[in-house]
Amino acid sequence: MDRKPMMQIDASETTIWTLSRDRKTVRMALPPLPLPGMPEPIMLLMDIKAQTVDAMIERLTILRSQMLPALPAPGKRTRSWSSGAAANWSRTPDHRLA
């Protein structure tokens, strides 16, 4: 991977990832991205089908297993669904289903 300078994105995962009303796609919406030479920031929106989400999760799982620091043992993870992440999750207007 090329180590060119990267732009920090200040957004929460609940803002970036939302489920479509028909529940068939997930939208990835990045905050407006300023680009040199462009008069206005660009908006990047990607609607991703379930099959692609599955492939992304599989690939990210493989890559995460190779990253440092290594994942802690399952009983010692701090942000697992069973240890309170579910209690901190809330529905925003973007997550409501029709």
Confidence of residue 27 (pLDDT cuts 50, 70, 90): very high
Average pLDDT over residues 34-53: 95
The answer to whether the CB of 48 falls within 8 A of the CB of 56 is: yes
Q: Is the pTM of this model over 0.85?
A: no
Residue 86 in domain: no
- Between 36 and 85, residue with greater pLDDT: 36
Residue 29 in domain: yes
Name the token pair of 65: 């297993």
Residue 19 in domain: yes
Specify the pLDDT at position 18. Answer: 97
Residue 81 in domain: no
Specify the pLDDT at position 26. Answer: 98
44 burial (CB, 10 Å; 0-12 / 13-18 / 19+) is exposed
Count up the domains in the chain and report the number. Answer: 1
- Between 2 and 17, residue with greater pLDDT: 17
Cis peptide before 36 (omega within 30 of 0): no
Three-class DSSP category at 94? helix
Residue 58 in domain: yes
Q: Domain range holding 42?
A: 11-70
The answer to whether the CB of 14 falls within 8 A of the CB of 85 is: no
Residue 76 in domain: no
Strands (E), 1-98: 17-19, 25-33, 42-49
Specify the pLDDT at position 84. Answer: 45
